[in-house]
Amino acid sequence: MWKPPTVIANTTRGRTTEETRRQYMSEHEISVTVNGERHELAVEPRTLLVTALRDELGYTGANVGCETGRCGTCTVAVNGETIKSCTRLAVQTDGAEIETVEGLADDGDLTPLQESFQEHHGLQCGYCTPGMLLSADALLATNDDPTREEIREAIEGNLCRCTGYQNIVDAIEATADRLGERR
Amino acid sequence: MYMDDFEYYRADSVENALELLADHDGAELIAGAHGLLPRMKTGDESPSALVDIGQLSGLDAIEARDGERDGDPGGISIGALATHTEIAESETVREHATALADAAAELGDPQVRNGGTIGGNLAHGDARSDPPAPLLALDGSLEVRSPDGERTIAATDLFEGPFETAVADDEIVTAVRVPTDADAVSGYHKRRDPLSGYAMVGVGVWLRTDGETIEAARVAVTGATTNPARLPAAEDELEGSAVSEETITEASAQAGTTLSDEAFVSDVQASAEYREHLLSIDTERTLYEVLEVDR
pLDDT digits (tens, 9 = 90+) for B15-59: 999 999 999 999 999 999 999 999 999 999 999 999 999 999 999
Q: B22-56 b/e with 16+ CB inside 10 Å = b?
A: eebeebbbbbbbbbbbbbbbeeebebebbbbbbbb
Is A151 at the interface with chain B, CB within 8 A? no
Q: Which residues pair with B141 in a beta bridge?
A: B154, B177
Nearest of B73, B72, B77, B108 to residue B92 by alpha carbon: B77
With beta carbons under 8 A apart, name residues in chain A contacting B4: 46
A118 domain residue, yes or no = yes
Distance (Å, rounded) from C-alpha A104 to C-alpha A89?
A: 23
Residue A140's CATH number: 1.10.150.120
Distance (Å, rounded) from C-alpha A158 to C-alpha A143?
A: 18
The answer to whether B108 touches B129, Cβ cutoff 8 Å, is no
pLDDT top residue among A18 and B157: B157
With beta carbons under 8 A apart, name residues in chain B contacting A87: 33-34, 37-38, 112, 115
Mean pLDDT of B262-272: 93
A140 domain residue, yes or no = yes
Chain B interface disruption, residue of A81, A94, A143, most B CBs within 10 A = A81
Q: How confident is the model at residue A14 (pLDDT cuts 50, 70, 90)?
A: low
Query: What is each CA distance from A98 to A88, A161, B19, B52, in whole angstroms?
Result: 12, 26, 30, 19
Same domain membership, residue A95 and residue A28? yes
Same domain membership, residue A81 and residue A119? no
Same domain membership, residue A154 and residue A83? no
- Residue B294: predicted pLDDT: 83
DSSP A20: H
Any residues with CB less than 8 A from the CB of B279 and at least 6 apart, and which? B201, B203, B221, B224, B255, B256
- Cβ–Cβ below 8 Å for A44 and B5: yes
Question: In chain A, whose CA is at the least distance from the CA of B30?
Answer: A92
- Cβ–Cβ below 8 Å for A153 and B30: no
A51 domain residue, yes or no = yes
User: What confidence tens digit (pLDDT) does each residue in B74-100 have?
Assistant: 899 999 999 999 999 999 999 999 999
Question: Over 80: is that where the pLDDT of A97 sits?
Answer: yes
User: What confidence tens digit (pLDDT) does each residue in B196-228 have?
Assistant: 899 999 999 999 999 999 999 999 999 999 999
User: What confidence tens digit (pLDDT) does each residue in A107-144 have?
Assistant: 889 999 999 999 999 999 999 999 999 999 999 999 99
Residue A82's CATH number: 3.10.20.30
Number of domains in chain A: 2
Question: In chain A, whose CA is at the least distance from the CA of B5?
Answer: A46
- The residue among A49, A73, A103 that closes a domain is A103
Complex prediction ipTM: 0.93
Query: What is each CA distance from B51 to A32, A154, B11, B27, in whole angstroms?
Result: 20, 32, 6, 7
Is A136 at the interface with chain B, CB within 8 A? no
A173 domain residue, yes or no = yes
Same domain membership, residue A95 and residue A128? no
Distance (Å, rounded) from C-alpha B105 to C-alpha B88?
A: 5
- The residue among A36, A68, A103 that closes a domain is A103
Nearest to A154 among B8, B10, B110 (CB): B110
Question: Over 80: is that where the pLDDT of A15 sits?
Answer: no
Nearest to B8 among A13, A70, A91 (CB): A91
Looking at chain B, the whole-number percentage of residues with pLDDT higher than 70 is 99
Distance (Å, rounded) from C-alpha B145 to C-alpha B174?
A: 7
Nearest of B224, B228, B273, B233 to residue B253 by alpha carbon: B233
Residue B172: phi, psi to the nearest 5? -120, 130
Same domain membership, residue A127 and residue A94? no
Question: Over 50: is that where the pLDDT of A22 sits?
Answer: no
- Residue A19: predicted pLDDT: 54
User: What confidence tens digit (pLDDT) does each residue in B245-261 have?
Assistant: 999 999 999 999 999 98
Nearest of A72, A80, A142, A133 to residue A104 by alpha carbon: A133
- Residue A46: predicted pLDDT: 95
Q: How confident is the model at residue A16 (pLDDT cuts 50, 70, 90)?
A: low
Average pLDDT, chain B: 95
Amino acid letter for position A56: E
Q: CB burial class (10 A; 0-12, 13-18, 19+) of residue A51?
A: buried
A2 domain residue, yes or no = no
Query: What is each CA distance from B96 to B87, B102, B132, B180, B290, in whole angstroms?
Result: 12, 12, 17, 6, 13
A19 domain residue, yes or no = no
For B201-220, give the secondary structure using H, E and C: EEEEEEEEECCCEEEEEEEE
Same domain membership, residue A79 and residue A123? no
Nearest of B81, B79, B1, B78 to residue B33 by alpha carbon: B81
CA angle B195, A142, B131 (to 5 degrees): 40
Same domain membership, residue A122 and residue A77? no
With beta carbons under 8 A apart, name residues in chain A contacting B33: 87-89, 92
Chain B interface disruption, residue of A46, A79, A91, most B CBs within 10 A = A46
With beta carbons under 8 A apart, name residues in chain A contacting B89: none
Reading across the β-sheet that carries B7-10, which strands appear in turn? B7-10, B49-52, B27-30
Name the 3-class secondary structure at A40: strand
- Residue A9: predicted pLDDT: 46
CA angle B123, B127, B129 (to 5 degrees): 80
A41 domain residue, yes or no = yes
User: What confidence tens digit (pLDDT) does each residue in A58-71 have?
Assistant: 999 999 999 999 99
A46 domain residue, yes or no = yes
In sequence order, what DSSP letters do the residues of B151-175 get, joined into one string?
A: EEEEHHHHEEETTEESS-TT-EEEE
Q: Which residues pair with B8 in a beta bridge?
A: B50
Rg (Cα) of chain B, in Å, rounded?
19
Q: How confident is the model at residue B101 (pLDDT cuts 50, 70, 90)?
A: very high
Same domain membership, residue A177 and residue A159? yes
User: Residue A141 is part of which domain span?
Assistant: 112-182
- Residue B5: predicted pLDDT: 93
With beta carbons under 8 A apart, name residues in chain B contacting A13: 2
Distance from CA of B147 to the nearest CA of A (A): 25
Question: Over 60: is that where the pLDDT of A11 sits?
Answer: no
- The residue among A103, A133, A157 that closes a domain is A103
Distance from CA of B230 to the nearest CA of A (A): 30
Q: How confident is the model at residue A7 (pLDDT cuts 50, 70, 90)?
A: very low
Distance (Å, rounded) from C-alpha B6 to C-alpha B41?
A: 12
Same domain membership, residue A30 and residue A61? yes
- Residue A183: predicted pLDDT: 65
Residue B152: phi, psi to the nearest 5? -115, 135
Give all domains of chain B, ordered by start, each with its CATH number: 7-52 (3.30.43.10), 62-178 (3.30.465.10), 184-291 (3.30.390.50)
Same domain membership, residue A98 and residue A48? yes
Question: Over 90: is that where the pLDDT of A179 sits?
Answer: no
Residue B46: phi, psi to the nearest 5? -145, 80
Same domain membership, residue A28 and residue A62? yes
Same domain membership, residue A32 and residue A60? yes
